[in-house]
Structure formats: structure tokens, C-alpha cells
């Protein structure tokens, strides 16, 4: 895969900088990632792009000072700082709270509180297929302004007009001299792959899918170890 001389590094967290685990609260980064991010940030623009909130990313990466986009574009700021929720997220705060209270009570299904929003994980459900169908029925009629987003055995609700794709395209437009490099593993990262491709001008983006599955990314690596090896090439 290419290493542009002047990259704008967009990095997903779960499944990209951290291995996927059964309990999202235990999603520690790859051992080399904190020091690697610090070194990269001394040379290049680095932005972590995640469905997690910025406060949780800071918890996992204490002392790392890079920019971040959290909650699928609803938060933006630096790790270690308190971000303000976007106006779009504030506008759907009440329906989100009501939905959180109405999540089906299913054995092994866990609700992850993200502060302004939440995620429903069914990786540990006793009957995964039944849990998926129950959650699909529950999310089939979400209030106007919200959009149900399915990831790797997780369901999240986000403001309809926000996504990782809208966030990274805007940041890339603010940095026209840099070549976007986006690395991610989940369905929500496909929004970013597609949006960067659609908005690319003279600087063709480098989009990298981590793991298996269909993708709009131009390149693919097997896992987190390979992401770390690739990122070292920018040093």
C-alpha cells in the first residue's frame, strides 16, 4: 500500500487500533499504538474517527494528544479535552433517551452508555439470530432525525445527517494539501471510504479495510498488527 508524503491520517479505533473484544469496556489499544500515535502526530495530522465518544477514547489513550471525531461525527475535538455535543445531537437528545429506556431486555444483550448516545451489543446474546431480529424490529420505526446503524454485532442510533463520511470529507476539504488515508474495519467506516472517493480531486485517497467482508476501500489488511506495521511506514 502507498505511503503518501503528506498524509492526513484518519484512524478508526475498535478493530483498527484495538482488537475486537466481547466487552467494549475492555477494548485496550494494541500495545504499540499509544507511542506510535504520539510519534505520528509529531510529523503528520492524525485524527481518530470512532463511534465512541471522545471521553472514552481519552480513557483508552491517556496522554495521547491527537484530534478525534467521536460518536460518528457528533463530537469533534482533541483527546483529553471535553467536547461539546453537536447541535444535531442535542436536537435528538430526548428521543434518544426514550429509545434507550425501551431497548428489548434480552439475555446477553448489553447497552453501552456513550453519554449523549448509546450502543446495543448482541455479541454475547444466547440466541444471536433472535436478538438481531428483535433489535431490527425495535429499530424499524425510529423517530424522525435518527438513523439506525448496524455494525459488527452492534446497533447504534445517530442523527440522520451525521456520519464518519460527512466528518472526514469536511476535514479533508480544510486540508487540501494533504492526502487522506483512512483505515477502518466496520460498516460505519464504509461511509468514509465512499465519501472520500466521491469527493477526491487530484489527491486520490488511500482507503484501507481491516479484515474480511465486502468493502469500498481500495486496499485491505488482515488485522490490527498489520495496521501498526503500515502506520510505522509513515515514520
Residues serving a catalytic function are: 12
Global pTM value: 0.81
Cα 104 from Cα 92, distance rounded (Å): 20
Give the per-residue pLDDT at 187.
Answer: 87
Instruction: State the cell numbers at 9.
Output: 491520517
Cα 157 from Cα 72, distance rounded (Å): 10
Strands 179-184 and 154-159: unpaired
Give the per-residue pLDDT at 2.
Answer: 96
Q: Strands, E, within the chain: which ranges?
A: 7-11, 45-49, 67-70, 75-78, 110-113, 118-121, 146-150, 154-159, 179-184, 206-210, 219-221
Directed axis angle between helix 187-199 and helix 164-174, to 10°?
40
Each of the 235 residues of the chain gets a pLDDT tens digit; together they read 999 999 999 999 999 999 988 888 889 999 999 999 999 999 999 999 998 889 999 999 999 999 999 988 888 899 998 876 677 777 777 777 888 888 888 888 888 877 767 888 898 888 888 899 989 888 888 777 787 888 888 888 777 777 899 899 999 999 999 999 999 998 889 999 999 998 876 679 999 999 999 999 999 999 999 999 999 999 9
Give the per-residue pLDDT at 201.
Answer: 67
Directed axis angle between helix 33-43 and helix 224-232, to 10°?
30
Amino acid at each position: 500500500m502507498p505511503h503518501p508524503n503528506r498524509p492526513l491520517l484518519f484512524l478508526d479505533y475498535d478493530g483498527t487500533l484495538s482488537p475486537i473484544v466481547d466487552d467494549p469496556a475492555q477494548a485496550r489499544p494494541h500495545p504499540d499504538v499509544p507511542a506510535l500515535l504520539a510519534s505520528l502526530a509529531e510529523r503528520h495530522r492524525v485524527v481518530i474517527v470512532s463511534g465512541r465518544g471522545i471521553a472514552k477514547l481519552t480513557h483508552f489513550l491517556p496522554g495521547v494528544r491527537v484530534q478525534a471525531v467521536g460518536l460518528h461525527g457528533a463530537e469533534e475535538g482533541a483527546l483529553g479535552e471535553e467536547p461539546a455535543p453537536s447541535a444535531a445531537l442535542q436536537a435528538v437528545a430526548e428521543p434518544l433517551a426514550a429509545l434507550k429506556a425501551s431497548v428489548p431486555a434480552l439475555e446477553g444483550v448489553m447497552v453501552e452508555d456513550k453519554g449523549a448516545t448509546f450502543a446495543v451489543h448482541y455479541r454475547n446474546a444466547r440466541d444471536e439470530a433472535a436478538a438481531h431480529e428483535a433489535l431490527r424490529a425495535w429499530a424499524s420505526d425510529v423517530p424522525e432525525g435518527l438513523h439506525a446503524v448496524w455494525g459488527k454485532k452492534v446497533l447504534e442510533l445517530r442523527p440522520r445527517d451525521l456520519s464518519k463520511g460527512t466528518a472526514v470529507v469536511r476535514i479533508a476539504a480544510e486540508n487540501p494539501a494533504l492526502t487522506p488515508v483512512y483505515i477502518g474495519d466496520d460498516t460505519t467506516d464504509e461511509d468514509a471510504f465512499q465519501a472520500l472517493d466521491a469527493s477526491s480531486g487530484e489527491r486520490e485517497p488511500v482507503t484501507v479495510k481491516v479484515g474480511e467482508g465486502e468493502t469500498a476501500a481500495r486496499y485491505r489488511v488482515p488485522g490490527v498488527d498489520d495496521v501498526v506495521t503500515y502506520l510505522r511506514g509513515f515514520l
